[in-house]
Structure 1
Amino acid sequence: MTEQAMALLCRGLDQLGLPWTQGAAEQLSLYGDRLLEKNQVMNLTAITDPEEVVKRHFLDSAALLPSKALGGRKVIDVGTGAGFPGLVLKILDPTIQLTLLDSLGKRVDWLGELCQELHLPDVTLLKGRAEELSRQKEHREGYDVAVSRALASMPVLAELCLPYVKPGGLFLAMKSNKTDEEIDAARAIIQTLGGEDPFVMDYLLPETEIYHRVVTVFKSRPTPKAYPRKWSKIKEAKI
């Protein structure tokens, strides 16, 4: 990663009010290098400028950490793709017990290689469909927090993620700040799945004029056994 991108990363982490180490910054720099290298042969990101990777992937992912909701918790990143936000969170807070879930085997294999190179051997990797794995006993309501970033609309995302969260836990969805309609459309299914009314917080992406949003759902009750439904039903959700 370029010197300019590294300087941007450090400034941005400071703006978020996050403690960070030189070691973590170097891990993120290596992560960025490997992401852009692999992106030449695998579709991982449409963002190919190192400074934009820092702003739109690393700093955006890191914006979850000021909430203090993740430290020491068992966290699953649903539909992680190239590892966002989960892997960034783990690098910056090694106490997180992280599981990365993605449906594409090639991405999961690459993430495994990346975790080894970043010296993160305790990250758990899962390959499979989110709506199927959450029915397995070892994953059903087995996590303190489920996170997801730019994966689907809120009604769909809630049904994919909340079954992983134990009662008393949280679901954190990273969204655009122009998602009021889809959040309103998700309120009924969130209640059905055992969640409380969503709490919305917008934040300014460091070193930009872009506002993004974290939608936080507290889960107070177990998810009914009928959920999640089959994908053909889930994707019918209207926004």
Structure 2
Amino acid sequence: MMSDLSATDRDVSRETSERLSALEGLLRKWNPAVNLVSKESLKDARTRHIVDSQQLYTLAPRDFHRWVDLGSGGGFPGLVVAILAAEQNPEAEVILVESDQRKAAFLQQAARALGVKATVHAERIETLSPMKADVLSARALAALPALCRFAERHLEPGGVAIFPKGANHQAEIAEAQQSHDFSVSVLPSVTDKDAAILVLKKIKAR
């Protein structure tokens, strides 16, 4: 894992690397009170959460205008996206959706502390007004059929959805294809040999 981390860190500026480290510090500070991520995963937070989120950014169009992260939780990938966009795509809009009020409060305070642009919506995904995202992400939120329904509502027709998934990703794809048509690229995860990143386009209910 360390080789992946080192390679990822070389791709960003010192300021961005410092912000990512600051995010890890905020996560460790807040987690005992708010339970942002599992205690076990906190032991290797840099790889499990930060590098795992960074890889999603590399799969998105470089010139995206609005990235919407559903169920942002502890800020993964949403806050990581906001940090990377501050350097690489500063005009972009990053929106984090998190219905848990305490987690949403963390996201707002963390964005301010990190000095990055991120709008937080403390609302349920199902009732949120359509977000018109050209990039949509969700990490450890729901099964793929539900994510496709969310994408129908919040993703622009020409947009791309990026969903990291675990070892059962092929079964989730097959299940989602029962209710939706879409094109999908299955890419290997740099942080988990059994996991994959699903990049979906042209999502439409059957």
Question: Into which bin does the TM-score normalised by the smaller protein fall?
Answer: 0.7 to 0.9
Return the offset for 1:143.
Answer: 1.1
Instruction: Report the TM-score, using the length of structure 1 for normalisation.
Output: 0.76
CA contact (8 A) 1:176 1:212 kept: yes
Following TM superposition, where does structure 1 have runs of at least 4 consecutive aligned residues deviating by more than 6 angstroms?
none
| 17 and 107 in structure 1: CA distance in 2 versus 1, 3 angstrom threshold | closer
CA contact (8 A) 1:175 1:212 kept: yes
Distance 2:41 2:122 in 1: 29
Distance 1:124 1:43 in 2: 21
Could you tell me which residue of structure 2 aligns to residue 64 of structure 1? 56
Instruction: Report the TM-score, using the length of structure 2 for normalisation.
Output: 0.87
Counterpart amino acid of residue 57 in structure 1: H
Return the offset for 1:162.
Answer: 3.1
Q: Give the counterpart of 1:24 among 16, 38, 45.
A: 16
Per-residue CA distance 1:40-80 (angstroms, 9 max, x = gap): 11111114676610010001111113324254431100011
How many residues were matched structurally? 201
Per-residue CA distance 1:20-43 (angstroms, 9 max, x = gap): 011111111111111111111111
Counterpart amino acid of residue 119 in structure 1: G
Give the 5 Å matches for 1:83-102: 83-94=75-86, 95=89, 96-102=92-98
Q: Give the counterpart of 2:115 among 119, 134, 147.
A: 119
Distance 1:64 1:49 in 2: 19
Return the offset for 1:18.
Answer: 6.3
Partner secondary structure for residue 64 of structure 1: helix
Q: Does 1:164 align with 2:159?
A: no
Q: Percent same amino acid among aligned pairs?
A: 24
Counterpart amino acid of residue 98 in structure 1: V
Distance 2:179 2:7 in 1: 36
Q: Which has the larger radius of gyration?
A: 1
Partner secondary structure for residue 188 of structure 1: coil
Distance 1:18 1:189 in 2: 41
Per-residue CA distance 1:93-132 (angstroms, 9 max, x = gap): 3224200001111111111111111011x21110111111
Q: Does 1:40 align with 2:29?
A: no
